[in-house]
Amino acid sequence: MSGPAVQPGTQPGAARPQARPGIARLLLRRPAVVVALAVLAVIVLCAALASVISPYGPEQQDLLHALKGPSASHWLGTGELGLDVFARLVFGGRVTLTVVLIAMVVYLACGVPLGILAGYKGGVFDWLVLKSADVAFAVPSIIVTLAVLAVFSHNETAAMVAFGLLGAPGLARVVRSAAMGVRQELFVRAAITSGLKDGVIILRHVLPRVAGVILVQVSVFAATAVLMETGLGFLGVGTKESSWGSLVGEASRNIGLNPWLLVPSGGIIIVFVLALSTIGDGIRDAAEEAHAAAVVRSPGRRQAPSATQAATAAVTAGQEPTEGALLSVRGLTVTLPMAGRATVTVRDVTFDVMPGEAVGIVGESGCGKSITASALFGMLPGGGRVTAGRVFFDGQDLTKASPAALRAIRGARVGWISQDPISSLDPVYTAGAQVAQVVRLHTGCSRKEAKRRALELFALVRLPDPARVAKSYPHQLSGGMAQRVGIAAALAAKPDIIIADEPTTALDVTVQAEILDLLRDLRAGGTAILLITHNWGLLADLCSRAVVMYAGEVVEESPITPIVRDPAHPYTQALLRSDPHRGRRGQPLPSLEGTVPAPPDWPVGCHFQGRCPLAAAACRTAAVPLVAVAPGRFSRCLLAGQATTVVQAAPAGTGGQDGG
Amino acid sequence: MVANPLVNVNNLTVEYRLPGRGGLLRAVDGVSFGIERGQTVGLVGESGSGKSTIGNAILGLADPADGRIEFDGADITHCPRADRRLLARRIQVIFQDPFGSMNPSLTVGETVAEALRYNLGLPKAQIRERVTQALADVGLPLDAAERYPTEFSGGQRQRIAIARALIMDPDFVICDEAVSALDLSVQAQVLNLLVKLRQERGLAYLFITHDLAVVRYISDQIVVLYAGQVMERGPVDLVADRPVHPYTQALTEAAPVPDPELQAARQAARTKVAPSAGSTGQTGCPFAARCPGAIGRCHTERPALVPYQGVLAACHLLTPDSKETIP
């Protein structure tokens, strides 16, 4: 009888997520990296165990078989004096890898502390590090290395120490930028205010965050160091012992007699360098992924099979548009890809906007407000799909419209106002040019006419000094002015409806009041407005109807006055009561425990059941329909009638309306 | 002002060097206020008012150019980092951004325990005990300590931030837009938690926010800032409910209330201020360019903060109760 009475995913303690994958784990998920690591391991092991695996010593001559190709006795052939190539590769690997390791140690030991201190401390030290990096970049390292070798003849250790030293400022520079970024992070400030010493902060917070950058740099540098070592060998100034470099030098001397010699000596270097750079790329990608993995994983419960959901959606989807409505949304259901599967994120949304009417969609974050708005005119993010329901705009079903028709409607009849006014403008064009461009797009008028019209629009949105604003770039405008420019652009085509998605959230409250004045005037001029907001004050100021959304569903729809005074749905009640505007000092705010469940965690039945004080068994069995509770008022609650009594019995805060 | 408040900010001035050719921006300009033990002072202002800078100056994250900050009688204006370690046991902070204020690669337990381990140097068993207690105090599940911040919602992370601040058992907590990023229902949960902890532990809060409704709910005293200067200061029931300064009035009237008829009436009665015109002259009242009642003197002479009907206000349009001026 009763369905699975599972709580929505508000109890993160319920399921133990596995430990987060660290960079190392993410790295090992990449086959190319695993192969590269294996190759490196084999090469290093061979070098380490050279005396065990090689049948010959590196200096063991076989004069009868000098400069021969591969054979059973000499697997990779022989070089000058019949020295075994395989033996020289593995023994030479020791020499080469050792000097490369030395270079790397010097590179890290100088570059990392310098970079981190410069980035973290800043000031004079930072300036010194930057300037010395500039100088080091200007010095050609091959020449310095050769000069060192001129002093310490055939001493590759000295040469590679010099090479590491010369590379270090470059590393310092990269690490510095990364450390500066981390320095600005709030958690570093929090650590400072916790009274942690700089050393602790660097080791705990800064170093781990820049480790990825360092590893990438080191893998590149190691590859360069190997090439440097071989270069020195090729020039004949390197070590006199067997090394990969001296082998290459020998191969090039005998290229006429035995070209084969170049294959093993060149091959090992190519393989080694390729392996290093593959690992470097892998680290970079894995580090990015580790940061991107910062998403809340659901405790693993799957969305309930949506048979019942689809059924109710289908019922309302069949409805016809309301007569005379500008916008009529019927049973709109949207899926978005989440964790690789199409997940219903908005379900069975139905509402109307009459011409010249302002309607507000209100709810907390994650309730599907913005997705609903973008689904109306075919602007869903990638992979999003309208799977059921219809959207009638002026009688035309937009879910059946072609992309071109949709584009035409979007451009000519719908104005968009976004939350972030400054970044929604293109930083390289002046405000005037951008609005004029929109005007031209819609009217096809001359440039001059478009410019004139843009100035008119600027005056219409009450920008002070329109001519000056028209010549300004977005970054020169304040948030309020940029939002006015955004509204001017939205008005360019004389739209029938403006969709305003949190248009004032980023603005100061006095500026918000100005923008509200403007939107109110537009509405009075006959433009319909669909306002998306979490702020009941904005809704009360501007809108005549409210559509309350919770976890992807409309839970209540009503004219504004009755809904704020006598909300029908328990969610609306709780939301309004928790508004500090209505709070009384000294009394706790009536709060709503828990959080909005994410779409994959929606329970069967009422989406609000997990937080609802009234939830009963019936709420958990099947999807709850949106039903009329009064003329023009709808609520998605099986207990809507009883809910009203609960509100009246609620002790605190319901009646308190501050005069302010 | 009381003789010995817990926190005393006196004539605080903080300047920032502007990028480029290095002009100076005065973010905070001669601000004074005090916070008593167990009291909550709300610091209200819009962007650019310098409210967060004041918090940073108290925390030692910004260096004052002038003025004095006292904590429990001691001058901490230019307190060196070494002494800050001791101060961190008494002054803590909760930042706005519940996603940026925790290192994503450390577990919640490690984050909360950080100060105990590295500042107080407590033994492991004791740390574990206190972390468990702190997480329980803020209403987080028992296993939260072993999990990572990314596994928590915004409201829960703010609880973690509160646990991190309170584990040092401070007397004074700066809440820098601590609930601004949260949804209404969650905001109410966190506000209730802050109030409960205040009652249980006798905490003093400096509540920095742009949201007058929140500040009115939680504060005992309110300081209203504009362009780095105090416009009005006084008990919450006066400043929030019967503001006298034109800017405070504009701020109060601008916030829409969730009732259509009330809001329509407020809207009609609202005094319209001119749009913000960027920086104003250095000499007069910073609000003069936007103020509907500004007179000639407002543009030339900076008004002093004077007693007026139970509050302190800096406005030439108000006739002070007495000739006494407050710094």
What is the structure's pLDDT at A141? Answer: 82
Nearest-CA neighbor of B226 among B17, B24, B16, B30? B30
Position B64 pLDDT exceeds 90 = yes
Position A292 pLDDT exceeds 80 = no
Nearest-CA neighbor of B10 among B57, B59, B47, B60? B57
Decide if A465 touches B, using CB distance below 8 A: no
* Chain A residues touching B278 at Cβ < 8 A: 478
Q: How large is the average pLDDT for residues B144-158? A: 88
Contacts of A447 by beta carbon, 8 Å cutoff, 6+ apart: A436, A440
Domains of chain B from N-terminus onward:
7-242 (3.40.50.300)
Class of domain A404-649: alpha beta
Q: How large is the average pLDDT for residues B209-228? A: 93
Cβ–Cβ under 8 Å, residues B132 and B142 = yes
d(CA A660, CA A537): 13
Which residues face A143 on adjacent strands? none
**Sign, Cα dihedral of A630, A633, A638, A644:** negative
Tell me if A197 and B192 make a contact (CB, 8 A cut-off): no
* Chain B residues touching A537 at Cβ < 8 A: 255-258, 263
What is the structure's pLDDT at A21? Answer: 60
Task: Give the tokens for residue B286.
Answer: 């910073």
pLDDT band at A639 (very low <50, low <70, confident <90, very high): confident
Q: Which among B59, B152, B189 has CB closest to A591? A: B189
- Give residue B26's identity as a one-letter amino acid code: R
Best mutation target among A187, A422, A512 (most B Cβ atoms within 10 Å) is: A187
Position A308 pLDDT exceeds 60 = no
Q: A482: how many CB neighbours lie within 10 A of its CB?
A: 24
Minimal CA separation from B86 to chain A, in Å: 7
What is the structure's pLDDT at B20? Answer: 65
Map residue A24 onto helix, strand or coil.
helix
What is the structure's pLDDT at A186? Answer: 87
* Chain B residues touching A189 at Cβ < 8 A: 61, 95, 101
Burial B194-209 (b: 16+ CB within 10 A, else e): bbebbeeeebbbbbbb
- How many CA atoms lie less than 13 Å away from A54 in the CB half-sphere? 25
- Strands A358-362 and A341-353: what pairing? unpaired
In this predicted complex, what is the ipTM? 0.87
Torsion of CA B134, B139, B142, B145, to 10 degrees: -50
* Chain B residues touching A294 at Cβ < 8 A: 104, 150
Q: What is the mean pLDDT of chain A?
A: 84
- How buried is residue A277: exposed, middle or buried, by Cβ count under 10 Å (0-12/13-18/19+)? middle
Q: Which among B85, B100, B241 has CB closest to A186? A: B100
Cβ–Cβ under 8 Å, residues A576 and A546 = no
Q: Which among B47, B185, B254 has CB closest to A592? A: B185
- Strands B40-44 and A341-353: what pairing? unpaired
Q: What is the pLDDT of residues A80-135, one digit of tens each?
A: 887 888 888 889 888 899 999 999 999 999 999 999 999 998 888 889 888 888 88
Nearest-CA neighbor of A9 among A633, A631, A610? A610
Cβ–Cβ under 8 Å, residues A419 and A502 = yes
Tell me if B141 and A196 make a contact (CB, 8 A cut-off): no
Lowest pLDDT segment from A226-230, B46-50, B195-199, B320-324: B320-324
Position A3 pLDDT exceeds 60 = no
Map residue B305 onto helix, strand or coil.
strand
Q: What is the pLDDT of residues B110-129, one digit of tens each?
A: 999 999 999 999 999 999 99
pLDDT band at A297 (very low <50, low <70, confident <90, very high): very low
Position B222 pLDDT exceeds 80 = yes
Size of interface A-B (CB pairs under 8 A): 233
What is the structure's pLDDT at A241? Answer: 81
Cβ–Cβ under 8 Å, residues B144 and B160 = yes
* Chain B residues touching A516 at Cβ < 8 A: 256
Higher pLDDT, A317 or A461: A461
Minimal CA separation from A365 to chain B, in Å: 7
Q: What is the pLDDT of residues A191-206, one digit of tens each?
A: 888 888 889 999 989 9
* Chain B residues touching A208 at Cβ < 8 A: 105
Position A307 pLDDT exceeds 80 = no
Task: Give the tokens for residue A260.
Answer: 């084969």
* Chain B residues touching A478 at Cβ < 8 A: 276, 278
Position A1 pLDDT exceeds 60 = no
Q: What share of chain B is helix, strand, coil (3-state, %, to 5)?
A: 35, 20, 40
Q: How large is the average pLDDT for residues B40-65? A: 92
Q: What is the pLDDT of residues B1-21, one digit of tens each?
A: 446 799 999 999 999 887 666
Map residue A343 onto helix, strand or coil.
strand
Q: What is the pLDDT of residues A535-582, one digit of tens each?
A: 999 999 999 999 999 999 999 999 999 999 999 999 999 999 888 888
Tell me if B255 and A591 make a contact (CB, 8 A cut-off): no
Q: B317: how many CB neighbours lie within 10 A of its CB?
A: 16
Tell me if A364 and B148 make a contact (CB, 8 A cut-off): no
- The pLDDT > 90 percentage for chain B reads 60
Tell me if A209 and B92 make a contact (CB, 8 A cut-off): no
Q: A271: how many CB neighbours lie within 10 A of its CB?
A: 15
Position A213 pLDDT exceeds 80 = yes
What is the structure's pLDDT at A10? Answer: 38
What is the structure's pLDDT at B305? Answer: 92
What is the structure's pLDDT at A647? Answer: 40
- Strands A358-362 and A528-533: what pairing? parallel
Minimal CA separation from B70 to chain A, in Å: 17
Position A644 pLDDT exceeds 50 = no
Tell me if A478 and B278 make a contact (CB, 8 A cut-off): yes
pLDDT band at A514 (very low <50, low <70, confident <90, very high): confident
Q: Which among A197, A208, A534 has CB closest to B105? A: A208
3-class secondary structure per residue, B208-219? EECCHHHHHHHC
Best mutation target among A18, A209, A362, A509 (most B Cβ atoms within 10 Å) is: A509
- The pLDDT > 70 percentage for chain B reads 94
Position A295 pLDDT exceeds 60 = no
d(CA A270, CA A223): 9
Nearest-CA neighbor of A560 among B257, B258, B183? B258
Map residue A247 onto helix, strand or coil.
helix
Give kind and range of the element (H or E) at residue B234: strand B229-235
Sheet (strand A414-417) strand order: A414-417, A497-501, A528-533, A358-362, A545-550, A553-559, A633-635, A627-630
Cβ–Cβ under 8 Å, residues A536 and B187 = no
Render A496-559 in DSSP notation, one character per residue. Answer: SEEEEESTTTTS-HHHHHHHHHHHHHHHHTT-EEEEEES-HHHHHHH-SEEEEEETTEEEEEEE
Tell me if A513 and B252 make a contact (CB, 8 A cut-off): no
Give residue for tokens 């468990």: B132
Position A406 pLDDT exceeds 60 = yes
Q: How large is the average pLDDT for residues B187-214? A: 93
CATH number of A23-292: 1.10.3720.10
Minimal CA separation from A307 to chain B, in Å: 30
Tell me if A583 and B217 make a contact (CB, 8 A cut-off): yes
What value, to the nearest 5°, has the Cα angle with vertex A574 and ends A500 and B135? Answer: 100
Minimal CA separation from B283 to chain A, in Å: 23
d(CA A546, CA A342): 29
Q: What is the mean pLDDT of chain B?
A: 89
* Chain A residues touching B93 at Cβ < 8 A: 190, 193
Q: How far apart are the first and last CA of chain B?
A: 12
Minimal CA separation from A171 to chain B, in Å: 23
Give residue for tokens 């570093």: A188
Cβ–Cβ under 8 Å, residues A515 and A503 = yes
Task: Return the domain boundaries, chain A.
Answer: 23-292, 404-649
What is the structure's pLDDT at A654? Answer: 37
Task: Pinpoint the alpha helices (H) of A340-495.
Answer: 369-376, 403-413, 431-443, 447-460, 466-470, 479-491
Q: What is the pLDDT of residues A478-504, one digit of tens each?
A: 888 888 899 998 888 889 999 999 888
Task: Give the tokens for residue A568.
Answer: 């029908």
What is the structure's pLDDT at B280? Answer: 52
* Chain B residues touching A596 at Cβ < 8 A: 183
3-class secondary structure per residue, A54-69? CCCCCCCCCHHHCCCC
